[in-house]
Amino acid sequence: MNNIAVLDKSTVDKIAAGEVIERPASVVKELVENAIDAGANAVTVEIKEGGISFIRITDNGEGIPADQVPLAFLRHATSKIKKVEDLLSVASLGFRGEALSSIAAVCQVELITKTAGSITGCRYIIEGGQEKSQEEIGAPEGTTFLVRNLFFNTPARKKFLKSPMTEAGYISDIMERMALSHPEVSFKFINNNQTRLHTSGNTNLKDIIYGIYGRDIAGNLIEIKDFGSGGPVELKGFIGKPVISRGNRNYENYFINGRYIKSKIISKAIEDAYKTFMMQHKYPFTALHFTIDGSYLDVNVHPTKMELRFANNEEMYRFVYEAVKAGLTHRELIPQVTVGK
Ligand code: ADP
Ligand code: MG
């Protein structure tokens, strides 16, 4: 038998990276979330070759102080929580401190960042978890990550990537969700030098829906206005009239505290509310924003944070069901009959 030995840092980081970074879209998701957490109101994402060879993300957020840059790339290094109790009130999208170390472990990363308080910016290069250089550089306020050659040092994982077109499609999906979940941020997505998405950041959710899904969808929406206002769960956004239902769940979007998530409970409640309005195996369009009290949630269920737990599933189901049902039975759905014409 071989001797037992603790794995070295680079091996540990590569293994850990596997949980967070699966494909180029994971890199985009993590870095855009960081930009939002940094208070940016403009985020530009440029990709080439489906993000496999090139991803550049520029934000106008608060930047990282030069002396903290190497720290940011350590595993479990975060400025967002200090102790486990903070998880109850965490308002940021990130908090596990795993993204930068994971990305740096399997890519070639160049970071340029500058805070408002410093005169010069900082340029930092790290490849495969190995720090290459750090220097002062002139830079605008904010942060730019240039991420090249995903999985360059883990060829076995690179083989599992799909074609650049498919990978670009995953990134496009992420960008659309980011735009829908943060109408207050202006997003620009450029694929192979072509602008694919550009939102204004004017907070108008309907404009964003129009930009992504077109007039057919945007013209057939029912607004849910501040349902449950004042309680632990509040809901607002749009649901589609039954005429714009789809054959799959791809148009069911909902966000909790600004985070795109998947939830069987919420989907079931939405679909049950639509049941009498729609044919079987049809799914509605939704773009719903939940604001939920932190004490009512556990977000730390999965590394990608796509799933979470509610304090009370039945209450949550009821709440969503009633909100959607109320929207659907609203008067504007009933055909207006004009008498005596
Ligand atoms: P987490 O987001 O969970 O804190 P990350 O590994 O994604 O962990 O990031 C580590 C830290 O680096 C963050 O807590 C933050 O302080 C800093 N950081 C990362 N990206 C940015 C950015 N775009 N702007 C400002 N600070 C950032
Ligand atoms: Mg993060």
Lowest mean pLDDT among 131-135, 157-161, 276-280: 276-280
Q: Is the CB–ligand 1 distance for residue 96 below 6 Å?
A: yes
Contact 222, 240 (CB under 8 A): yes
Amino acid letter, 49: E
Share of residues in the chain with pLDDT > 90 (%): 77
Give the start-to-end residue ranges of the domains of the chain: 9-198, 216-332
Parallel, antiparallel, or unpaired: how do β-strands 194-198 and 186-191 relate?
A: antiparallel
Q: Is the CB–ligand 1 distance for residue 78 below 6 Å?
A: yes
Closest protein CA for atom 7 of ligand 1: 99
Q: Find all residues with CB under 8 Å of 4, minimum gap 6, and list them.
A: none
Q: Is the CB–ligand 1 distance for residue 267 below 6 Å?
A: no
Q: Is the CB–ligand 1 distance for residue 29 below 6 Å?
A: no
**Residue 83 — pLDDT band, cuts 50, 70, 90?**
confident
Q: Find all residues with CB under 8 Å of 11, minimum gap 6, and list them.
A: none
pLDDT score of 158 more than 50: yes
Using DSSP, state whether 209 is helix, strand or coil: helix
**Ligand 1 atom having least distance to the Cα of 92:** 2
87: how many CB neighbours lie within 10 A of its CB? 15
Q: What is the CATH number of domain 216-332?
A: 3.30.230.10
> Is the predicted ipTM greater than 0.95, yes or no?
yes
Mean pLDDT calculated for residue range 134-162: 96
Q: Which of 100, 102, 113 to mutate to test the pocket of ligand 1 (most atoms within 8 A of CB)?
A: 100
Q: What CATH fold (topology level) applies to the domain 9-198?
A: Heat Shock Protein 90 (3.30.565)
Share of residues in the chain with pLDDT > 70 (%): 95
Amino acid letter, 160: F
Mean pLDDT calculated for residue range 165-172: 98
pTM of the shown model: 0.92
Q: Is the CB–ligand 1 distance for residue 63 below 6 Å?
A: yes
Mean pLDDT calculated for residue range 220-235: 94
**Ligand 1 atom having least distance to the Cα of 77:** 10
Domain 9-198 and domain 216-332, same fold? Reply is: no
Helices (H), 145-263: 155-158, 164-181, 205-213, 215-218
pLDDT score of 332 more than 70: no
pLDDT score of 136 more than 90: yes
Mean pLDDT calculated for residue range 42-63: 98
pLDDT tens-place string over residues 201-215: 999 999 999 999 999
